[in-house]
Amino acid sequence: MGATLLLIASSSAHAQSRLVSPHEPYSPGRQDHRLLLYNTHTAERIDIVYRRGDQYISGALAKLDFFLRDHRTGDVRHFDPRLYDILSDLTFSIGHPDGEIDIVCGYRTPSTNESLRAHTTGVAKNSLHIQAEAIDLRMPGVDTLKLRRAALALRRGGVGYYPHSDFIHVDTGRVRQWCFDCPASLTTGD
Ligand SMILES: [Zn+2]
């Protein structure tokens, strides 16, 4: 579905991008949207511009989809590109534009998700990782609690916090939050 949208008029995308308000909080008229990712399971790195102005770059999305594949099975699924925007805006909002993000988990096949559920805690039965609509991440040198606050402030989907494993979960589902196995000080809001 997303792929079809990409093919529409590249010239108009440039025109539209000039209309973006300079006061927009995290994307101040950015033309190139870039992501630097490190996959903690495969030790692969990617440095890629996946969006120019209002237009996603389909070849770049395909590379990101592969990068975020289920590393246990090798299965690839097309990610909701709005998730990439969340990642990109997150790096901006914490003052590390284009900073490198460590990917703890991307796509999960249903069988991988079931296996994780059987062997670990904190894995949801209908996890959005199965829909390629969720990513678990941390950023080297950035306090994960700060990352969590920034993700919550974006109000663009779900945000989970896993302090013991030191990562946050972001997804493109409805706006909600949770904190897994958290100290009481963190479950009372903030
Ligand atoms: Zn997750």
Contacts of 29 (CB under 8 A, 6+ apart): 17, 18, 20, 21, 22
- The model's pLDDT over 25-64, given as tens digits with 9 standing for 90+, comes to 455 567 899 999 999 999 999 999 999 999 999 999 999 9
pTM (whole model) above 0.95: no
Q: Is the per-residue pLDDT at 110 higher than 60?
A: yes
Report the distance separating Cα 40 and Cα 97, nearest Å: 21
Provide CB contacts within 8 A for 17, sequence distance 6+: 29, 31, 52, 53, 54
User: Mean pLDDT throughout 97-116?
Assistant: 95
Q: How far does the centroid of ligand 1 lie from the alpha carbon of residue 161, in Å?
A: 9
Contact 73, 114 (CB under 8 A): no
Using CA of residue 6, residue 7, residue 13, residue 14, what is the dihedral sign?
Answer: positive
Ligand 1: distance of its center to the CA of 134 in Å? 6
What is the average pLDDT value for the chain, to the nearest integer? 86
Is residue 48 helix, strand or coil? strand
Query: Integer distance in angstroms from the first to the last C-alpha of the chain?
Result: 37
Pick from 22-26, 47-51, 95-99, 184-188: least confident: 22-26
| pLDDT tens, position by position, 144-181 | 999 999 999 999 999 999 999 999 999 999 999 999 98
- Give the pLDDT band (50/70/90) at residue 182: confident
Contact 40, 95 (CB under 8 A): no
Domain boundaries defined on the chain: 2-7+22-139
Sheet containing strand 176-179, edge to edge, reads: 55-56, 45-52, 32-39, 100-105, 134-138, 167-171, 158-162, 176-179
- The alpha carbon of 129 and the centre of ligand 1 are apart by a number of angstroms equal to 6
Measured in Å, residue 158 CA sits from the centre of ligand 1 at 10
Distance CA 179, CA 157 (A): 15
CA of 165 to the centre of ligand 1 (A): 12
Ligand 1 centroid vs 125 CA: distance in angstroms? 11
Mean pLDDT calculated for residue range 95-119: 94
Distance 132 CA to ligand 1 centre (A): 10
Higher pLDDT, 73 or 19: 73
- Determine the Cα–Cα distance for residues 81 and 132; give it in Å rounded to an integer: 10
* DSSP 3-state of 127: coil
Predicted pLDDT of residue 26: 52
